[in-house]
Amino acid sequence: AQSVTQLGSHVSVSEGALVLLRCNYSSSVPPYLFWYVQYPNQGLQLLLKYTSAATLVKGINGFEAEFKKSETSFHLTKPSAHMSDAAEYFCAVSPPNTGNQFYFGTGTSLTVIP
Amino acid sequence: DAGITQSPRHKVTETGTPVTLRCHQTENHRYMYWYRQDPGHGLRLIHYSYGVKDTDKGEVSDGYSVSRSKTEDFLLTLESATSSQTSVYFCAISESSGGGSGANVLTFGAGSRLTVL
């Protein structure tokens, strides 16, 4: 089975600082990779996805993530944090030969300090 | 917009009572899922469906059953609710991500918050 590890269940950054949320997966075959964001009391929203095209993927709200096969990583970054970025972030993977199986990390809660 | 509606959005019930959560979609998606979200555990799959009357278990299926008699509706039932089933429940559908990659993405409903006293 796939596993997804998100290092750091809580991350705090100052407003304007770099946001870096880490995600590593375990798989011998590169899966499809996703980041979802959950704002308080809301459902999950797709932030960005890697589906075996460009390794640097740009998403909504200025976020991007880079797929690094050698490191089995898909870290999420944003150059300058905004107060509105405070949310829970989930990394997820989907094995390419299944198409409809998804595995989630345990989430990282991002706090932005004014 | 996948048009996913979950009901009820909030429910408080007592231990031992049956509870049914409903997920309704408007776009004929084949795959539907029920997840529960708990602090420290992220999202865990309870059951999923790959068509009418076709369902399978996820990693935390004990104490839950599901039914899908129509494409648009996926029901999650707790036959006898326990306090450990207090959680936020999310329904999701799988749909094509576009671009010809063959990848699908999950789209989620707004969630149903269940409290079992």
Chain A environment of B102 (Cβ under 8 Å): 51, 96, 99
Q: B101 and A52: CB-CB below 8 Å?
A: yes
Q: What is the pLDDT of residue B1?
A: 55
- Over range A9-24, report the average pLDDT: 96
pLDDT tens-place string over residues B57-96: 999 999 999 999 999 999 999 999 999 999 999 999 998 7
Q: Residue A1's pLDDT is what?
A: 64
DSSP state, residue B18: -
DSSP label of B40: T
* Pairing status of strand B112-116 against strand B87-96: antiparallel
Instruction: Quote the CA–CA distance of B20 and B94 in Å, as a whole number.
Output: 22
pLDDT at position A80: 97
CB A92 within 8 A of CB A85: no
Minimum Cα–Cα distance from B59: chain A residue: A103
B46: amino acid identity, one letter: I
Residue of B101, B112, B113 best to disrupt the A interface, most CBs of A under 10 A: B101
Nearest alpha-carbon partner for B73 in B43, B34, B19, B113? B34
Residues of B in contact with A7 (CB under 8 A): none
- Reply yes or no: is the peptide bond before residue A30 cis, omega within 30 of 0: no
B-contacting residues in A 1-40 (Cβ below 8 Å): 9, 32, 34, 36
Question: What mean pLDDT value characterizes chain A?
Answer: 92
Contact criterion met (CB below 8 Å) for B72 and B28: yes
Q: What is the pLDDT of residue A41?
A: 85
Q: How far apart are the first and last CA of chain B?
A: 35
CA distance B110 to chain A (A): 4
Q: How far is it, in rounded angstroms, from Cα A75 to Cα A87?
A: 16
Q: In chain A, how long is the greatest CA-to-CA distance?
A: 44
* Distance between CA atoms of residues B80 and B16, nearest Å: 4
CB contact under 8 A, A99 and B104: yes
